[in-house]
Amino acid sequence: MNSFLHMLAITVIDPPSNIRAARRPRGTILRRWLGVFGGLLLACAGTVRAEDGYDLWLRYRPLPAAQASLYRSHAAQLVMATATPIELATRDELQRGLGGLLGQSPALADAVSGDGAIVVGTPSSSPAIARLRLDTAGLGREGYLIRSAVIAGHPVTVVAANDDVGALYGTFHLLRLVQTGQLLDKLDLRDAPRLKLRVLDHWDNLDRHVERGYAGASLWDWQKLPGWLDPRYTDYARANASIGINGTVLNNVNANAAILTPAYLDKVKALAGVFRPYGIRVYLSVKFSAPIEIGGLKTADPLDPQVQRWWRAKADEIYALIPDFGGFLVKANSEGQPGPQDYGRTHADGANMLADALAPHGGVVMWRAFVYSQHNNDDRAKQAYTEFKPLDGKFRANVLLQVKNGPIDFQPREPFNPLFGAMPGTPLMMEFQVTKEYLGFATHLAYLGPLFEEVLKADTQARGKGSTVAKVIDGQLDGHVLTGMAGVANIGTDRDWTGSDFNQANWYAYGRLAWNPEASSRDIAEDWVRMTFSNDPAFVKPVVDMMMGSREAVVDYMTPLGLHHLMGHGHHYGPAPWDASGPRADWTPVYYHRADRNGIGFDRSSSGSDAVAQYAPPVAAEFNDPARAPEALLLWFHHLPWNYRLHSGQTLWDALVAHYTRGVEEVAQMRNTWARLDGYVDADRYRKAASFLAIQQDEAQWWRDASIAYFQSLNGLPLPAGYRPPAHPLSYYESLTFPFVPGYP
Binding mask 203-232 for ligand BDP (x = CB under 6 A): --------xx--------------------
Alpha-carbon distance values, 289 to 292, 298, 317, 341, 448 (Å)? 6, 10, 18, 12, 35
Among 235, 324, 335, 545, which one carries the catalytic annotation?
335
**In 10 A of CB 26, how many CB atoms?**
11
Shortest distance (Å) from residue 86 CB to ligand BDP: 33
Asked whether the beta carbons of 80 and 90 are under 8 A apart, the reply is yes
Assign 3-state DSSP to the chain and report helix, strand, coil percentages, each to 5: 45, 10, 45
In this complex, which beta carbon is closest to ligand BDP, that of residue 203 or of residue 533?
203
DSSP 8-state symbol, 407:
S
CA 351 vs CA 272, 341, 382: distances in Å: 24, 12, 21
- Shortest Å distance, C-beta 256 to ligand BDP: 13
Quote the least distance from Cβ 310 to ligand BDP, whole Å.
25
- Which position's Cβ is nearest ligand BDP? 409
Based on the residue annotation, tell me whether 409 is a catalytic residue of this protein: yes
Instruction: For residue 606, count CB atoms less than 10 angstroms from its CB and return exposed for 0-12, middle for 13-18, buried for 19 or more.
Output: middle
Integer Cα distance of 351 and 320 in angstroms = 22
Q: How far is residue 153's CA from residue 150's CA, in Å, rounded to a whole number?
A: 6
Query: What is the per-residue binding string for ligand BDP in 393-412, x denoting contact by CB under 6 A?
Result: ----------------xx--
The nearer residue to ligand BDP, 253 or 280, going by C-beta atoms, is 253
DSSP label at 485?
E
Distance from first CA to last CA of the chain, Å, rounded? 44
What is the smallest separation between the CB atom of 572 and ligand BDP, expressed in angstroms?
Answer: 6
Q: Using CB under 6 A, which residues numbered 409 to 448 contact ligand BDP? A: 409-410, 437
> Would you give the binding string for ligand BDP spanning residues 240-259, x where CB under 6 A is met?
-------------xx-----
Residue 408 Cβ, how far from ligand BDP at the closest point, in Å? 9
Residue 288 makes contact with ligand BDP by CB under 6 A: no
Q: Which of residues 511-530 bind ligand BDP (CB under 6 A)?
A: none
Smallest gap from residue 254 Cβ to ligand BDP (A): 5
Task: Say how many C-beta atoms besides its own lie within 10 A of residue 563's C-beta.
Answer: 28
Contact (CB, 8 A) for 614 and 382: yes
Q: Which is nearer to ligand BDP, 201 or 474 (CB)?
A: 201
Query: DSSP assignment, residue 334?
Result: S
Shortest Å distance, C-beta 597 to ligand BDP: 31
> Phi, psi at residue 459, to the nearest 5°?
-95, 110
DSSP classification of residue 90: H
Number of residues that bind ligand BDP (CB under 6 A): 11
Q: Which residues contact 2 (CB under 8 A, 6 or more apart)?
A: none
The verdict on whether 414 is a catalytic residue reads: no
CB of 561 to ligand BDP, least distance (A): 22
- Shortest Å distance, C-beta 539 to ligand BDP: 35
Annotated active-site residue in 55, 379, 387, 409: 409
Q: State how far the Cα of 185 lies from the Cα of 623, in Å rounded to an integer.
A: 50
* 414 versus 699: smaller Cβ distance to ligand BDP: 414
The answer to whether 370 contacts ligand BDP (rule: CB under 6 A) is yes
Nearer to ligand BDP, 569 or 676 (CB): 569
Nearer to ligand BDP, 572 or 728 (CB): 572
Q: Could you give the CA distance from residue 319 to residue 98 in angstroms, rounded to a whole number? A: 38
Regarding 331 and contact with ligand BDP (CB under 6 A), the answer is yes
Of 410 and 573, CB closest to ligand BDP: 410
d(CA 361, CA 629): 47
Residues 612-641 touching ligand BDP, rule: CB under 6 A, are none
Q: Choose between 37 and 738: whose C-beta lies nearer to ligand BDP.
A: 738
Q: Which of 322, 344, 342, 323 is nearest to 332 (CA)?
A: 342
> Has 552 been annotated as catalytic?
no
Distance CA 144, CA 170 (A): 6
Catalytic residue among 201, 211, 301, 437: 437
Query: Least CB distance from residue 744 to ligand BDP, whole Å?
Result: 8
- Rounded to the nearest 10 degrees, the angle between the axes of helix 537-558 and helix 652-676 is 150
DSSP secondary structure string, 645-686? Answer: BPTTS-BHHHHHHHHHHHHHHHHHHHHHHHHHTTTSS-HHHH
Phi and psi torsions of 346, nearest 5°:
-95, 170
Nearer to ligand BDP, 106 or 216 (CB): 216
Q: Is 565 in the site for ligand BDP (CB under 6 A)?
A: no
The CA distance from 71 to 285, in Å, is: 45
Q: Which is nearer to ligand BDP, 222 or 370 (CB)?
A: 370
Distance CA 452, CA 434 (A): 10
287 binds ligand BDP (CB under 6 A): no
Residues near ligand BDP (CB under 6 A) are 211-212, 253-254, 331, 335, 370, 409-410, 437, 745
Residues marked active site are found at 335, 409, 437
